[in-house]
Structure 1
């Protein structure tokens, strides 16, 4: 996954947890199955193997809560190792995401997307985005609408809605459209 693109820690955790849980549950089920077959051969060993079965689960079914906790701790350990080895970097993820989105989206949309991934812009990157927002908005507007002034209020509202949906601030949108009127 990391060879294709940068990932945030939260995103990678979300992607890895289902696989780790499935592997832990499979291992717990295999252990329970082996233990159950051993118990059927030697009934006196049932009390000699405490903790194999959950007290809440029916006989022969492994404790999925323990498997889930084991999977989560394994994923956290893996993520810690990836960060220590610099294979996983929040800063690289932010830079890559901003670079990929800045040409098409405004500051609000970029910040919202980063927040979904559990990261935030540092002060320097936020300032760079603020400084270039009007220019980026003008480029997006020119690509979409050909740089032509809106003919009437309905066309102006349509253009404003489009730019707002792209995450540009209302103040920047107004300045871009006013500049087109001049």
Structure 2
């Protein structure tokens, strides 16, 4: 039995029903399936006009998914890679900066259940948080909190 071919709009709606996508990301996915004469940009414009595709909703969704695992820098870099507007990114930066140290502390508490035994262990934990995109201030606050919690 032959597989049913989805139109670009149908395919886009299927992708959007699974999760929010940025315009860039959805355009890349649809471009792979576009037949000659089909205009991906027109489909994306129609979806935005119908409020089915929204950069703001995508940015909120991405921040919500990533905030429990990553630091501000990593989240903001990912938003920039999706070509989110600078104005939206600056607002998100302000929101994220309020609780970055608390998120770093929570990640350390989940991964390491005791304070660092020595300087090498402390450096290892700092590198772990640094790779996840946390700022130096948040890293220091999280390490300090972990050391004082167990004393």
Q: Shorter-chain TM-score: what band?
A: 0.7 to 0.9
| 3-state secondary structure, aligned to 1:92 | helix
Aligned to 1:6: 20
Q: Does 1:154 align with 2:114?
A: no
Distance 1:134 1:81 in 2: 41
Give the 4+ runs in structure 1 shifted more than 4 A: none
Checking the alignment, whether the CA contact within 8 Å between 2:105 and 2:145 is kept in structure 1 is no
1:168 paired residue among 112, 134, 147:
134
For normalisation by structure 1, the TM-score amounts to 0.69
Give deviations 1:115-162, integer Å, cap 9, x for gaps: 22121544332211000101111000100111x211011111110111
Aligned to 1:145: 112
Q: Would you say how many aligned residue pairs link Structure 1 and Structure 2?
A: 132
- Where structure 2 has 5 or more consecutive residues not aligned to the other structure, the ranges are 1-14
Distance 2:90 2:81 in 1: 18
Distance 2:57 2:20 in 1: 7
Aligned to 2:10: none
Q: Does 1:94 align with 2:47?
A: no
Which has the larger displacement, 170-179 or 96-105? 170-179
Checking the alignment, whether the CA contact within 8 Å between 2:101 and 2:137 is kept in structure 1 is no
- Where structure 1 has 5 or more consecutive residues not aligned to the other structure, the ranges are 25-69
1:111 paired residue among 76, 82, 99:
76
After superposition, where does 1:124-143 map in structure 2 within 5 Å? 124-143=91-110
